[in-house]
Amino acid sequence: MALVLVALGNACAPAAPATSAAPANPTTPTSDQGASPDFELPALDGSRVRLSEHRGKNVVLIDFWATFCEPCLLAMPHLDELYKKYRDRGFVVLGVSIDGSGSAAKVRGEVQKLGVTFPILLDQETQVVALYNPRTSAPYSVLIDRDGRIVKRREGYTTGDRAALEADIAAVVGR
Protein backbone atom coordinates (compact mmCIF):
# COMPACT_ATOMS: atom_id res chain seq x y z
CA MET A 1 0.00 0.00 0.00
CA ALA A 2 1.33 3.43 -0.89
CA LEU A 3 0.81 6.10 1.71
CA VAL A 4 0.85 9.71 0.54
CA LEU A 5 0.81 12.56 3.05
CA VAL A 6 0.50 16.26 2.39
CA ALA A 7 1.64 19.00 4.76
CA LEU A 8 -1.15 20.93 6.46
CA GLY A 9 0.32 23.62 8.68
CA ASN A 10 1.80 21.84 11.69
CA ALA A 11 0.78 18.33 10.60
CA CYS A 12 0.76 16.07 7.59
CA ALA A 13 -2.42 14.26 6.64
CA PRO A 14 -3.29 11.60 4.09
CA ALA A 15 -3.96 12.91 0.60
CA ALA A 16 -6.69 10.29 0.21
CA PRO A 17 -8.65 8.31 2.77
CA ALA A 18 -6.38 5.84 4.52
CA THR A 19 -6.78 2.25 3.51
CA SER A 20 -4.89 0.82 6.44
CA ALA A 21 -5.47 -2.70 7.58
CA ALA A 22 -8.23 -3.13 10.14
CA PRO A 23 -7.10 -3.13 13.76
CA ALA A 24 -6.25 -6.55 15.12
CA ASN A 25 -8.77 -6.05 17.93
CA PRO A 26 -11.65 -3.77 16.88
CA THR A 27 -12.86 -3.50 20.49
CA THR A 28 -9.63 -1.88 21.64
CA PRO A 29 -10.34 1.55 23.15
CA THR A 30 -9.14 4.46 21.04
CA SER A 31 -9.96 7.35 23.36
CA ASP A 32 -7.71 8.88 26.01
CA GLN A 33 -7.58 6.98 29.30
CA GLY A 34 -8.04 3.66 27.45
CA ALA A 35 -5.76 0.66 27.39
CA SER A 36 -2.98 0.75 24.83
CA PRO A 37 -3.15 -2.15 22.37
CA ASP A 38 0.01 -4.21 22.22
CA PHE A 39 2.12 -4.46 19.09
CA GLU A 40 5.49 -5.70 17.89
CA LEU A 41 7.48 -4.01 15.12
CA PRO A 42 10.96 -4.35 13.64
CA ALA A 43 13.44 -1.66 14.64
CA LEU A 44 16.08 -0.08 12.44
CA ASP A 45 18.80 -1.82 14.46
CA GLY A 46 17.40 -5.24 13.46
CA SER A 47 15.73 -6.01 16.79
CA ARG A 48 12.00 -6.35 17.37
CA VAL A 49 10.25 -4.11 19.88
CA ARG A 50 7.04 -5.04 21.68
CA LEU A 51 5.10 -2.31 23.49
CA SER A 52 4.11 -4.65 26.33
CA GLU A 53 7.81 -5.01 27.25
CA HIS A 54 7.55 -1.50 28.72
CA ARG A 55 4.36 -2.08 30.73
CA GLY A 56 4.96 -1.69 34.45
CA LYS A 57 8.39 -0.14 33.84
CA ASN A 58 8.29 2.83 31.46
CA VAL A 59 6.25 5.76 30.30
CA VAL A 60 6.14 5.50 26.50
CA LEU A 61 5.64 8.15 23.86
CA ILE A 62 4.79 6.62 20.48
CA ASP A 63 5.62 9.14 17.79
CA PHE A 64 4.23 8.46 14.29
CA TRP A 65 6.35 10.27 11.72
CA ALA A 66 7.48 10.22 8.08
CA THR A 67 10.70 11.28 6.36
CA PHE A 68 8.80 13.58 3.99
CA CYS A 69 6.81 15.36 6.72
CA GLU A 70 8.44 18.67 7.68
CA PRO A 71 6.66 19.03 11.06
CA CYS A 72 7.78 15.48 11.88
CA LEU A 73 11.41 16.30 11.14
CA LEU A 74 11.12 19.49 13.21
CA ALA A 75 9.82 17.48 16.18
CA MET A 76 12.41 14.68 16.11
CA PRO A 77 15.37 16.55 17.67
CA HIS A 78 13.11 17.89 20.44
CA LEU A 79 11.75 14.40 21.13
CA ASP A 80 15.32 13.14 21.32
CA GLU A 81 16.16 15.85 23.88
CA LEU A 82 13.18 14.76 25.99
CA TYR A 83 14.17 11.10 25.63
CA LYS A 84 17.68 11.84 26.89
CA LYS A 85 16.42 14.06 29.70
CA TYR A 86 13.81 11.62 31.09
CA ARG A 87 15.02 8.12 30.12
CA ASP A 88 16.76 7.61 33.48
CA ARG A 89 13.34 8.17 35.07
CA GLY A 90 11.68 5.46 32.96
CA PHE A 91 10.73 7.32 29.78
CA VAL A 92 10.99 5.83 26.29
CA VAL A 93 10.22 7.31 22.87
CA LEU A 94 9.30 4.84 20.14
CA GLY A 95 9.49 6.58 16.78
CA VAL A 96 7.19 4.73 14.37
CA SER A 97 8.01 5.44 10.74
CA ILE A 98 4.97 5.36 8.49
CA ASP A 99 6.98 5.74 5.28
CA GLY A 100 5.81 2.42 3.87
CA SER A 101 7.43 -0.70 2.53
CA GLY A 102 10.99 -0.60 1.29
CA SER A 103 11.77 2.61 3.17
CA ALA A 104 14.28 1.36 5.75
CA ALA A 105 17.32 2.88 4.00
CA LYS A 106 15.66 6.27 3.63
CA VAL A 107 14.45 6.21 7.25
CA ARG A 108 17.93 5.19 8.46
CA GLY A 109 19.51 8.05 6.53
CA GLU A 110 17.11 10.63 7.94
CA VAL A 111 17.55 9.33 11.50
CA GLN A 112 21.35 9.52 11.15
CA LYS A 113 21.13 13.03 9.71
CA LEU A 114 18.95 14.16 12.63
CA GLY A 115 21.12 12.37 15.21
CA VAL A 116 18.12 10.68 16.83
CA THR A 117 19.02 8.13 19.52
CA PHE A 118 15.62 6.71 20.54
CA PRO A 119 14.36 3.47 18.94
CA ILE A 120 12.94 3.82 15.43
CA LEU A 121 10.37 1.23 14.42
CA LEU A 122 9.13 0.42 10.92
CA ASP A 123 5.37 0.07 10.45
CA GLN A 124 5.63 -0.81 6.78
CA GLU A 125 2.26 -2.58 6.70
CA THR A 126 0.54 0.21 8.73
CA GLN A 127 -0.79 -2.23 11.33
CA VAL A 128 0.13 -0.06 14.31
CA VAL A 129 -1.05 3.08 12.52
CA ALA A 130 -4.45 1.40 12.14
CA LEU A 131 -4.58 0.75 15.90
CA TYR A 132 -3.52 4.17 17.15
CA ASN A 133 -3.74 6.67 14.31
CA PRO A 134 -6.39 5.56 11.79
CA ARG A 135 -6.45 9.01 10.12
CA THR A 136 -2.73 8.49 9.44
CA SER A 137 -1.78 11.96 10.67
CA ALA A 138 1.87 12.81 11.15
CA PRO A 139 3.34 13.78 13.43
CA TYR A 140 0.97 12.09 15.82
CA SER A 141 1.98 11.08 19.32
CA VAL A 142 0.42 8.89 21.98
CA LEU A 143 1.61 9.14 25.59
CA ILE A 144 1.17 5.92 27.59
CA ASP A 145 1.65 5.61 31.35
CA ARG A 146 3.46 2.77 33.11
CA ASP A 147 0.19 0.86 33.52
CA GLY A 148 -0.33 0.85 29.74
CA ARG A 149 -3.09 3.48 29.70
CA ILE A 150 -3.23 6.12 27.00
CA VAL A 151 -3.13 9.45 28.82
CA LYS A 152 -2.63 11.91 25.95
CA ARG A 153 -2.81 12.11 22.18
CA ARG A 154 -1.32 14.95 20.17
CA GLU A 155 -1.64 15.70 16.46
CA GLY A 156 0.82 17.97 14.69
CA TYR A 157 3.85 19.81 15.99
CA THR A 158 5.12 23.38 16.13
CA THR A 159 8.00 24.76 18.17
CA GLY A 160 5.34 26.29 20.42
CA ASP A 161 4.32 22.75 21.46
CA ARG A 162 7.66 22.08 23.15
CA ALA A 163 6.74 23.25 26.65
CA ALA A 164 3.31 21.61 26.69
CA LEU A 165 4.71 18.29 25.49
CA GLU A 166 7.44 18.32 28.12
CA ALA A 167 4.93 19.22 30.84
CA ASP A 168 2.74 16.25 29.82
CA ILE A 169 5.73 13.89 29.90
CA ALA A 170 7.06 15.23 33.21
CA ALA A 171 3.63 14.84 34.83
CA VAL A 172 3.31 11.19 33.78
CA VAL A 173 6.94 10.28 34.51
CA GLY A 174 6.62 11.86 37.95
CA ARG A 175 3.65 9.68 38.97
| In the predicted structure, residue 7 carries a pLDDT above the cut 50 | no
Q: Does the domain at residues 59-175 carry the CATH identifier 3.40.30.10?
A: yes
Q: pTM for this structure?
A: 0.82
What average pLDDT is seen over the chain? Answer: 83
Check if the beta carbon of residue 120 is closer than 8 Å to that of residue 95.
yes
Closest CA to 39 of 14, 64, 18, 68: 64
Residue-wise pLDDT for 14-35, tens only, equals: 433 333 333 333 223 334 457 8
